[in-house]
């Protein structure tokens, strides 16, 4: 069974970061290489209610990757919704924050590198290996917690 990953992140160029290139050159290929099905909201081509689709993705995705490099209200909203819907299964990433806000600062975050607004090629190979391994670890922890909580039938 292919695992589904929803990516919550800004689109386009914001605050000196080309988030489309971060997605196209780093996040998507790193996770697809390991067999994950990776999806970002702007890839949806069907008609319908954007908010309904977003809630469905946040509820059903095996993992959510949230890019918290900048204070983008949509990403923070989606992260909050995911936390409300599912106890586990979030990978926080960022490229330029020196601090994390109080509500998420205890959660580990994967830091990636950018240069001239795009993923830094000097670090890209290493980071393309780290992201999927963090995803796999996150899934293992989530599965382990389901067993501990007595939800083995859902496992």
The one-character DSSP state at 103 is: G
Here the tokens at position 134 are 């963090």
Q: Residues 6 or more apart from 33 whose CB is under 8 A from it?
A: 128, 132
Q: For the segment 102-114, what is each residue's pLDDT rounded down to a tens digit?
A: 666 566 778 999 9
Q: For the segment 10-55, what is each residue's pLDDT rounded down to a tens digit?
A: 999 999 999 999 999 999 999 999 899 999 988 877 777 778 888 8
């Amino acid at each position: 069974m292919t695992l589904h990953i929803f990516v919550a992140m800004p689109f386009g160029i914001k605050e000196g970061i080309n988030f489309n290139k971060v997605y196209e050159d780093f996040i998507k290929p790193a996770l697809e290489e390991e067999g994950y099905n990776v999806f970002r909201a702007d890839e949806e081509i069907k008609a319908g209610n954007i908010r309904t689709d977003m809630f469905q993705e946040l509820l059903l995705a095996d993992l959510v990757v949230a890019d918290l490099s900048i204070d983008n209200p949509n990403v923070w909203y989606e992260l909050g919704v995911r936390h409300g819907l599912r106890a586990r299964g979030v990978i926080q990433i960022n490229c330029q924050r020196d601090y994390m806000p109080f509500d998420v600062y205890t959660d580990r975050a994967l830091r990636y590198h950018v240069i001239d607004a795009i993923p830094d090629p000097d670090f890209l190979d290493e980071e393309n290996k780290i992201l999927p391994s963090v995803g796999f670890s996150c899934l293992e922890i989530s599965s382990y917690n389901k067993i501990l909580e007595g939800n083995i039938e859902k496992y």
